[in-house]
Amino acid sequence: MMKVPKKVLSALRDEESFLVAAHINPDGDAIGSAVALCLALESAGKKAVAYSRDPVPSHYTFLPGQEKILSGLEDALKDDPVLVLVDCNSPGRAGIRDLHFRRSIVMDHHATESDFGDLRWIDRSAAACGMMVYEVLKSLGIEITKAIATNLYAAIAVDTGTFRYSNTTAGVLRTGAELIDLGAQPALIAERLYETWSMKRFRIFMMSLNTLEIKDDVAMTHVSETMFRKTGAGAEDTENFANLPRSIESVKVAAVFREVGRGAWKVSLRSKGEVDVSKVAERFGGGGHRNAAGCRIEADLKSAKKALVGAIRRSHGR
């Protein structure tokens, strides 16, 4: 069972204004955790604003309260808020730079850390940041409404592959059951997460699959700027594209290369078994979890693929 640091609880209990920030290119864990925490703090009589530099992906717009997420900081800073980073541990990762906050709190579960934060709660064993927020709300005695339960359940579902990944523990399942008792609807959430794709997302996914290349048990696909233009899809539409290639029996690591400029690629890594892709990502200045990580590689696509495969070999003695 996770234990929330007393100083974190005291700060959330004593302070009156909060800016809860998710990481750039937010996923379901980041959005669900940020919104759930904001809704809970508001219900406790606090001022709380959720912030995301990037838009909420369309497949998460069903989450209650997500429409309140701000994409600008001007209004949020008026009340001199305490900064709370969820699902990340540095201001840069949240797209917040050159701003000073009188106090900062970090709640994260990633293996790659920074030293930012006046109060830090980093729990690498947590399956999702949503699990951490759930423990915070229980410890503070804040009522978990249906809206909060829905956000937390979705957050945990995304980071556990809906309870399929190796980070799914008995505790995770118990928390999921408790959130269902509190109003979360698992069938509806699963349908919105995995079975409600826009046509543009489906089209760019098919294009990406047609680029599949497998080398040394590494499945690689890519999404180019040309593909984005042809389909009208955005970067948020490519989330979890690595999951299907990872399901190939012989594949240990799946990588999706997303073009982010001339000679620049954002790489999403997914692995199964004992391959730790966070160590691979760190070689390129990125990071993440054992089985899910990301980084950026500055090179042409052929060279980027070669560099990635080489890094996987060196990191795991292959």
pLDDT at 250: 94
Q: Are 276 and 290 in contact (CB under 8 A)?
A: yes
pTM of the full structure: 0.91
pLDDT at 318: 53
Within 10 Å of residue 54's Cβ, how many Cβ atoms?
Answer: 15
* CA 283 vs CA 26, 31, 245, 279: distances in Å: 23, 28, 23, 7
Residue 101 has phi, psi (to 5 degrees) of: -115, 140
pLDDT at 197: 93
pLDDT at 315: 79
In one-letter notation, the amino acid at residue 51 is: Y
pLDDT at 288: 86
pLDDT at 173: 98
pLDDT at 74: 86
pLDDT beneath 50, residues of the chain: none
- Residue ranges and CATH numbers for the domains of the chain are 6-194 (3.90.1640.10), 199-315 (3.10.310.30)
pLDDT at 46: 97
Euclidean distance between CA atoms 151 and 192, whole angstroms: 12
pLDDT at 10: 98
pLDDT at 268: 96
Strands 287-288 and 292-298: antiparallel
- Which residue is associated with the tokens 């990580």? 293
